[in-house]
Amino acid sequence: MKNLQRIMSLCDYTTTKEVRIISLPLRVLKIAITLAVLVYLCFSLYTEKGYQKKDTVISSVHTKVKGVLDVDNWIWDTSEYTIPYPGGNSFFVITNIVKTENQVQGLCPEFPNRKTICSRDDICKKAYADPQSNGIQTGRCIQFNRTLKTCEIRSWCPVEFKSTPEPAVLAGAENFTVLIKNNIHFAEFNYTTKNILPEYNVSCVYDRLKAPQCPIFRLGDILKEAGESFSQIAVLGGIMGIEINWNCNLDRWASKCRPRYSFRRLDDKVVDERLFPGFNFRFARYYKSADGKDLRTLIKASGIRFDIQVYGIGGKFRFIQLIIFIGSYLSYFGLATVLIDFLIGLYSQCCCDPKSSQKYYDDMKYEKVSGPCILQCCRMRFVSFVDQKDIIMVDKPLQKSLQNTTGTRIEREKIADYKDIEQHLKPDSNAALHRLEMEAFTAKDHEKEFSSCSWCQCSKCPKMDKFGDQLCCRSQAGDCITTSDMFLKLVLSMNRLIYILQYDDPFLTVDSVSNEKLRECAKKQYIEWRFGMDLNVVNFAVMPSCCKHEIEKIAKDHST
């Protein structure tokens, strides 16, 4: 049965009990905070579109660069200066070149540097190839020019020795244009669009103010929008980012899905020779001479790589998303409670006036409880001595009698004065009942003395073997509580006990009252008298052995 009750208790509904404080300042504060949270909720709902379900963009990019340059009677068209990158999200435009023509495989001096300058042959290592060199050393030290000697290498000769020209050879590339085709798709909403509108003007050029949706960009304008100089970057090269941001509202009543373009430099602006500044690479064009030898022209190409980065989020109204968003903000309405509780909780016994308003609210809101030690799993007991005002809580294992075990003092619950119940009763005409009560009093006067116990202070406690039963009604030597008039009238009065039992069971007769019922009723009367009505205390209250003995005796007298 108990197990069933425990299972059923899991289905019980619990709620909190609150204290309503009637205070104009606190009411104004609560309303102000609530309104502020409500305004913030509405603002966030509108700006963040919290009612929409979001999806990230799936994108594909295709580019076409257009432009022609005449440099030293050499025509540079798209196929000359544009290098495509795999994936389509990047393209490279050559802006500067260093040509080393008519290279042929053979022996020649290495370009002079700290590792290749020499003065004799033993400095050069035969068959040695440094990762930064142009070839493999032969072990000889030969003349590079009139003033320097370098190690001889087997390589494509002559080696590259020209410096990067400045200004850039293809400085006019800033007037080239690039067409960017960007198709996007939001899979969650099955929505597809592109950056080129049907009314697209093939002669337009992007301008942040005049033509912000034009997909054709002048290269010089891209660097200008990023705050860079095309003529400076064109010398050594660099990396630029073209960012396309799709922030799409796909709701039918406010559909808007157009890209926004922005530009920034991605590589380091600081020119440091140790960090290989700029952006360049080398490639060669091979051909044969008239006598059949393999020749090549080595080209060191510096330029600008443009990386196209597409970002985007699409949103569409979903009722479930609206509920989730509102639910996530409901906790903010509790800020008023938290702040007001903080103001009320500012009261501290060590520093605040005990007559202050904080003390008043502190008493109204908080119930002070002295609980047992949670780290010890042992039986808890409450003890009440007649010569002490407070109740004692014992929450530790007993190593000696309960009488001599120390505990924590707890303030006794204040109880309303007991009224004389007998004045509400009719005159007792049951002579037998009256005789039993008188016999109980007479038996008390002629009670035999108990043998003295070390823990007993009233000389009326019987011997007890268990520590938990060794408890007296007093903490210091004195008269036993069982000899007091209140104990006789409240606990041992047979007429009162039967009245209480008949209050619960109106059809109970005197003859049908069992000893067990009398005993339990008397114990309940004593515990409520000495410990109060708090069930958290009553359920753990321990009755003194002397009181138990008197109650047992009055029950026996009733049976006789």
What is the end-to-end Cα distance of the chain in Å, rounded? 36
Using an 8 Å Cβ cutoff, are 326 and 130 in contact? no
Q: How confident is the model at residue 273 (pLDDT cuts 50, 70, 90)?
A: low
Buried residues in 205-222 as b, exposed as e (16+ CB within 10 A): ebeeeeeeebbbbbbbbb
* Calpha distance 428→417 (Å, rounded): 24
User: Is it the case that residue 559 has pLDDT exceeding 90?
Assistant: no
For the chain, the average pLDDT equals: 85
Q: Which helix (H) or strand (E) holds 95?
A: strand 90-109
User: Is it the case that residue 443 has pLDDT exceeding 70?
Assistant: no
User: Is it the case that residue 34 has pLDDT exceeding 80?
Assistant: yes
Amino acid at 558: H
Instruction: Please give the radius of gyration of the chain, using alpha carbons only, rounded to the nearest integer.
Output: 50
The mean pLDDT value for 408-415 works out to: 78
Q: How confident is the model at residue 354 (pLDDT cuts 50, 70, 90)?
A: low
The mean pLDDT value for 418-423 works out to: 48
The mean pLDDT value for 114-128 works out to: 92
Q: Which helix (H) or strand (E) holds 8?
A: helix 2-9
Phi and psi dihedrals of 497, rounded to 5?
Answer: -60, -45
Amino acid at 554: I
User: Is it the case that residue 446 has pLDDT exceeding 60?
Assistant: no
What residue ranges do the domains of the chain occupy?
21-50+321-365, 56-99+159-315, 111-156, 381-559
* Calpha distance 91→305 (Å, rounded): 6
Buried residues in 308-347 as b, exposed as e (16+ CB within 10 A): bbbebebbbbeeebeeebeeebeeeeeebeeebeeebeeb
What the block records as the tokens of 449 is 């003395």
Three-state SS for 296-337 is: EEEEEEEEEEEEEEEEEEEEEECHHHHHHHHHHHHHHHHHHH
Q: How confident is the model at residue 1 (pLDDT cuts 50, 70, 90)?
A: low
Using an 8 Å Cβ cutoff, are 344 and 25 in contact? no
Least confident of 82-91, 223-232, 490-499: 82-91
From the list 296, 267, 268, the residue with the least C-alpha distance to 282 is 296
Three-state SS for 26-83 is: HHHHHHHHHHHHHHHHHHHHHHCCCCEEEEECEEEEEEEEECCEEECCEEECHHHHEE
Q: Angle, to 10 degrees, between the axis of helix 357-365 and the axis of helix 335-344? A: 120
Q: Angle, to 10 degrees, between the axis of helix 431-445 and the axis of helix 494-504? A: 130
Q: Taking the alpha carbons of 123, 126, 129, 133 in that order, is the dihedral positive or negative?
A: positive
From the list 105, 164, 109, the residue with the least C-alpha distance to 141 is 109
Find the angle CA(212)-CA(214)-CA(215) to the nearest 5 degrees. 125
Amino acid at 154: R
From the list 279, 282, 275, 272, the residue with the least C-alpha distance to 307 is 279
Domain 56-99+159-315, what architecture? Sandwich (2.60)
Using an 8 Å Cβ cutoff, are 63 and 308 in contact? yes
* Calpha distance 93→280 (Å, rounded): 11
User: Is it the case that residue 557 has pLDDT exceeding 90?
Assistant: no
CB atoms under 10 Å from CB of 152, counted, come to 25
* Calpha distance 352→359 (Å, rounded): 8
What the block records as the tokens of 553 is 């005796």
Which residues, including other chains, have CB under 8 Å from residue 153's CB and lie 6 or more apart?
Answer: 107, 108, 109, 110, 133, 134, 135, 136, 137, 138, 159
Which residues, including other chains, have CB under 8 Å from residue 523's CB and lie 6 or more apart?
Answer: 543, 548, 551
Phi and psi dihedrals of 513, rounded to 5?
Answer: -75, 125
Q: Which helix (H) or strand (E) holds 500?
A: helix 494-504
Least confident of 13-22, 51-60, 278-287: 13-22
At residue 220, the pLDDT reads 95
User: Is it the case that residue 414 has pLDDT exceeding 90?
Assistant: no
Q: How confident is the model at residue 494 (pLDDT cuts 50, 70, 90)?
A: confident
Amino acid at 459: S
* Calpha distance 318→434 (Å, rounded): 82
* Calpha distance 315→53 (Å, rounded): 5
* Calpha distance 173→498 (Å, rounded): 114
User: Is it the case that residue 421 has pLDDT exceeding 60?
Assistant: no
Helices (H) and strands (E) in the chain, counts: 14, 18
* Calpha distance 381→396 (Å, rounded): 9
What the block records as the tokens of 167 is 């200004």
Which residues, including other chains, have CB under 8 Å from residue 355's CB and lie 6 or more apart?
Answer: none
Find the angle CA(107)-CA(111)-CA(117) to the nearest 5 degrees. 100
The mean pLDDT value for 380-396 works out to: 91
pLDDT in tens, 287-323: 998 888 999 999 999 999 999 999 999 999 999 999 9
Which residues, including other chains, have CB under 8 Å from residue 442's CB and lie 6 or more apart?
Answer: none
At residue 427, the pLDDT reads 40
